[in-house]
Copies of this chain bind each other. A is one copy, B any other.
Amino acid sequence: MTVSFKDKGASRRQFLTGAAAAGVGTVAATVAKAAGDPLITQKQEWAQATGDGVDASPYGLPIQFEGDVIRRNVEWLTADTISSINFTPIHALDGTITPQGCAFERHHSGAIELRKEDYRLMINGLVDTPLVFTYEDLERFPRENHVYFCECAANTGMEWAGAQLNGAQFTHGMIHNMEYTGVSLRTLLNEAGLGAAGDLKDKWVYVEGADASSNGRSIPMEKALDDVLVAFKANGEALRKEHGYPVRLCVPGWEGNMWVKWLRRIEVTAQAIESREETSKYTDTLEDGTSRKWTWVMDAKSVVTSPSPQAPIKHGKGPLVITGLAWSGRGAITGVDVTIDGGKTWQKARLAKPGEKMAMARFYLDIDWNGEEMFLQSRAHDETGYVQPTKTQLRDVRGLNSIYHNNCIQTWWVKPNGEAENVEIS
């Protein structure tokens, strides 16, 4: 059954010799010279029938050649890996879905192994009937599917102080975008009954996980009854251990810390709990020393993922695809602008498809690169009319004491040799 070009005679090779000579047109400079290219004219060892049949990997992993498309930690950033974070390799991905295997992790006391049989979810507090659900119970309620982004509030946090981390993975990789399946939190709260809570307007839910940290967070009842999802699948399959198996919360558009993993308890309360994770952590200290609290929503943001420091241009000048991601916690992305001259002139990028609420959008700008240096930036717009700010605009309002909620425009300095660096421009 082996068929190779070599076996098929000389006429095709003659064709290709002509092709190499005749290469013209917009992208003609990118066409490989085929004449004498042994990868075209010779039979290849790797093209033989292999022993890698369908029993080779009942559950597959990426091919060995993609071994660098992995989550990465920044050693100096975190003292230990247990209460730590790593980053999605967004510089190497395309499209919008993040595979679970390389979606960033953030743990407060390590990823626990919790069996479905051992899983319990309690709803208590100001409810008519406190309830405890098993995993199997949850599977009996009406389900929803939604693609949502989950962004850590600290994403891009190191950049407040200047251009620090040299790669989109490290500056913007505390984010993932997955298709979640689960039960609306509204459904479960109604099952317990909210009559006992009285006027719901000023009520809260307090959610905590089954891991040692418990990672408790308070969520206003209005959000809890809106779009919060008690999820048990991501991208079709069970949540991975590191993403909260068997059940996590999805709080669309809101900071990732609230997306409690290994979800154990939901308490309806008369006021916010003011837990560690919403007071000493996940608040933004302003210039005057006071702190912004309840900064739940992730504002519109975008980043060019390629070219970028980890994804340099290797092919020289000519046709170049500039691509990146945009998202907004306030709704759908409606547009992305891209500049190659540091903001002097902007071009409208192309969205791969219309933006969806609280989901990542992929943008592209196809240019003919002249080979000169570029100061690449992207700027997201969302359906509320919000426009992603510059770092200067953000600092003017927020000062330099923040860690969280840095959604400023990012700059990559692309040099004539195609390499890129994280820089700030004013």
User: Is A156 part of the binding interface, using a Cβ–Cβ cutoff of 8 Å?
Assistant: no
Question: Please, which residues of chain B bring their CB within 8 A of the CB of A2?
Answer: 212
**Whole-angstrom distance between the alpha carbons of A106 and B208 in the complex?**
44
Query: Which residues of A from 71 to 87 have beta carbons under 8 Å from B?
Result: 71-73, 80-86
Beta-carbon contact of B179 and A122 below 8 Å:
no
Beta-carbon contact of B96 and A145 below 8 Å:
yes
Beta-carbon contact of B102 and A23 below 8 Å:
no
**Whole-angstrom distance between the alpha carbons of A44 and B33 in the complex?**
64
Least distance between A12 CB and chain B CB atoms (Å): 6
Beta-carbon contact of A16 and B122 below 8 Å:
yes
Beta-carbon contact of B59 and A93 below 8 Å:
no
Least distance between A23 CB and chain B CB atoms (Å): 7
- Minimum CB distance partner of A142 in chain B: B366
CB-CB under 8 A for A93 and B139, given A133-B32, A362-B145:
no
Beta-carbon contact of A213 and B54 below 8 Å:
no
Which of A159-167, A315-323, A398-406 lies at the interface? A315-323
Beta-carbon contact of B352 and A107 below 8 Å:
no
Beta-carbon contact of B212 and A1 below 8 Å:
yes
User: Is A344 part of the binding interface, using a Cβ–Cβ cutoff of 8 Å?
Assistant: no
Query: Which residues of A from 98 to 118 have beta carbons under 8 Å from B?
Result: 98-102, 105-116, 118
CB-CB under 8 A for A39 and B131, given A1-B212, A237-B62:
no
User: Which of B102, B212, B240, B366 lies in contact with A49, CB distance below 8 A?
Assistant: B212
CB-CB under 8 A for A315 and B66, given A95-B236, A129-B22, A132-B31:
no
User: Is A235 part of the binding interface, using a Cβ–Cβ cutoff of 8 Å?
Assistant: yes
Beta-carbon contact of A34 and B122 below 8 Å:
yes
The residue in A40, A62, A106 that gathers the most chain B C-beta atoms within 10 A of its C-beta is A62
**Whole-angstrom distance between the alpha carbons of A11 and B318 in the complex?**
70
Beta-carbon contact of A179 and B107 below 8 Å:
no
CB-CB under 8 A for A314 and B136, given A59-B61, A60-B240, A95-B233:
yes
User: Is A397 part of the binding interface, using a Cβ–Cβ cutoff of 8 Å?
Assistant: no
Beta-carbon contact of B211 and A47 below 8 Å:
yes
Q: Which size bracket describes the interface of A in this complex?
A: 35 or more
> How many copies of this chain does one complex carry?
2
Beta-carbon contact of A107 and B54 below 8 Å:
yes
User: Is A19 part of the binding interface, using a Cβ–Cβ cutoff of 8 Å?
Assistant: yes
Beta-carbon contact of A52 and B210 below 8 Å:
no
Beta-carbon contact of A140 and B320 below 8 Å:
yes
CB-CB under 8 A for A137 and B31, given A46-B113, A65-B116, A66-B238:
yes
- Minimum CB distance partner of A306 in chain B: B139
Query: Which residues of A from 120 to 164 have beta carbons under 8 Å from B?
Result: 120, 122, 124, 129-134, 136-137, 139-145
Beta-carbon contact of B181 and A95 below 8 Å:
yes
User: Which of B22, B59, B63, B140 lies in contact with A318, CB distance below 8 A?
Assistant: B140
User: Is A198 part of the binding interface, using a Cβ–Cβ cutoff of 8 Å?
Assistant: no
User: Is A30 part of the binding interface, using a Cβ–Cβ cutoff of 8 Å?
Assistant: yes
User: Is A374 part of the binding interface, using a Cβ–Cβ cutoff of 8 Å?
Assistant: no
Least distance between A175 CB and chain B CB atoms (Å): 12
Beta-carbon contact of B141 and A95 below 8 Å:
no
Question: Please, which residues of chain B bring their CB within 8 A of the CB of A65?
Answer: 113, 115-116, 245
The residue in A23, A32, A95 that gathers the most chain B C-beta atoms within 10 A of its C-beta is A95
Beta-carbon contact of A102 and B59 below 8 Å:
yes
Q: Hey, what's the 0/1 contact readout for A183-210 against B, CB within 8 Å counting as 1?
A: 0000000010100000000000000101
**Whole-angstrom distance between the alpha carbons of A245 and B69 in the complex?**
14
**Whole-angstrom distance between the alpha carbons of A61 and B103 in the complex?**
11
Q: Hey, what's the 0/1 contact readout for A340-376 against B, CB within 8 Å counting as 1?
A: 0000000000101100000000101010000000000
16 contacts between A and B (CB under 8 A): A31-B131, A37-B132, A40-B132, A44-B210, A48-B212, A49-B211, A53-B83, A53-B107, A56-B111, A58-B70, A65-B113, A66-B238, A93-B237, A94-B232, A95-B179, A140-B320
Q: A26-B191, A34-B122, A53-B81 are in contact. List 5 more A-B contacts (CB 8 A).
A: A40-B122, A56-B81, A57-B71, A60-B242, A65-B245
